[in-house]
Homo-oligomer: A and B are copies of this chain.
Amino acid sequence: MLRSLRRFLKIANSNPPAVERRADLASTIFSGNGADGTFEPVGKTKPTKKPRGRATVRGIAASAGVSIGAVSSVLNNRHVERRIAPETVEKIRAAAAGLGYLPNISAKRLRSGGKNNVVLALVTSFEAPIPLVNHFIIALRSAMAAGKFPHAEGAFSVMIEMFPAGRLHELPGLLSGDHFNAAILLNTTAEDDAFLNRSALPYPVVLVNRLIAGYAAVVEAPETGSRAAEILIRAKRRRLAVIHGSPLTQTTRARVNGFMHRGAELLGQPAHEIKSATLSESAGYDAMRAFLRRGPEIDGLYAVSDALALGAYRALKEHGLKIPQDVAVVGVGDYEISPFFDPPLTSVGVSHQALAEEASRLLLLQLGGVGAARPTVTVPLAETLRASSGHRLS
């Protein structure tokens, strides 16, 4: 898809620098991909490590016939104050370029350690609804910035780790604990959860919307589905339906079940179940349209994600149905812009922000001590009545 796009790209080298700059740095990052890294020890250097793996200062030193100190000085552009001869500088630069040198960040940080960094990770699956991740980034950064974790005086970094669904266990550093000091885990699958259940991770962890023994967790309140049913029924709707993606995740399953149970309980009849291929707007549109064409009449709809609600909106309108007069709709509030739907979407659910803030709080709590406490926090529902459910005209 992008391939065809690229043919139109205009590529141009940028103009030469306008200001004085250390332009020679550019050549530091260079890989002559013909060089294979073989070299003979020049002079009486150390016991001659063979250059396995990535190039290091040692490799460059050997290749250029100088000491590693000289290499480091040159690569950090300290060669003038360290009095390295110009031709030596060139030799070293050439060697670095030839070997495709990339500095080892861990080593750099260890050495020039200064502030000792706390590394926080957000671990999520590739397949996940990523927008959630944003809230966690912001929440983590805000919590740290607000000094919620005094141990690290503002010195910390946030990493994003992603794994293919079901293969969390293959994530490097997950079990060894040498990639981060703490992690928030999002969007795991049943397989991943099983893995987590039988392993103990050697650092503080917070799970999101998963309950697994031994881990701290943040989950949405379990009544979200039943509350949605109640809202629709309060709005005098009797013929209900729920639209959801397939397969159901742990979270959406709970929403659907809660809705079905409470609906049946209050109305004495089951709600329709509309299965969408995915959680996307267009899948929701397709599923809703197919359902409407099949004939069943409904007057109340619960969408387990706002994306599905948006897709359903279009199908309903195309079918000549008015929201909320003909069909009232309730979503879950996972789109920031649901107040700007037409009509604005009523939702009952937990805000991503609250979820993220609680998760950050729990993580820093564990990091900061408070013993072996691994609390589970249920984030309460926020019920926002808007026009789509016929409650008011906001």
List residues of A whose CB falls within 8 A of some B CB. 2, 5, 8-19, 21-23, 25-33, 53-54, 76-77, 97, 100, 102-110, 112-113, 115-119, 126, 130-131, 133-134, 137-138, 141, 151-152, 155, 157-162, 172, 176-181, 197-200, 202-204, 211, 213-217, 281, 285, 307, 310-311, 313-314, 317, 335, 337, 339-340, 342, 353-354, 357-358, 366-380
Contacts and interface: CB of A to CB of B under 8 A. Distances in A.
Contacts of A110: 104, 106-107, 110
Nearest to A112: B178
A369 B2 contact: no
Contacts of A157: 159, 161, 179
> Looking at A14, A33, A162, A204, which has the most chain B CB atoms within 10 Å of its CB?
A14
Contacts of A137: 130, 133, 160, 162
Given A9-B380, A369-B30, A53 B116 contact: yes
Contact of A216 (B14, B117, B203, B215): B14
14 contacts: A9-B379, A10-B378, A16-B213, A18-B213, A25-B200, A26-B374, A29-B372, A54-B151, A104-B116, A105-B117, A109-B179, A112-B178, A158-B160, A160-B160
Nearest to A19: B198
Given A11-B375, A11-B377, A105-B181, 13 more contacts: A2-B357, A9-B379, A19-B197, A29-B369, A30-B371, A54-B116, A97-B369, A104-B116, A105-B106, A105-B180, A106-B110, A109-B178, A130-B138
A54 B367 CA distance: 13
A152 B102 CA distance: 10
Contacts of A281: 337, 339-340
Contacts of A377: 9-11
Contacts of A162: 137, 141
A162 B12 CA distance: 29
B2 A353 contact: yes
Copies of this chain per assembly: 2
B131 A202 contact: no
Nearest to A357: B2
Contact of A15 (B172, B213, B285): B213
A368 B2 CA distance: 21
A177 B216 CA distance: 35
Contacts of A155: 172
A28 B158 contact: no
A33 B197 CA distance: 30
Contacts of A311: 340
A12 B102 contact: no
Given A112-B176, A126-B141, A342-B342, A211 B14 contact: yes
Contacts of A130: 134, 137-138
A213 B15 CA distance: 6
A166 to B, nearest CB: 16
A179 B374 CA distance: 31
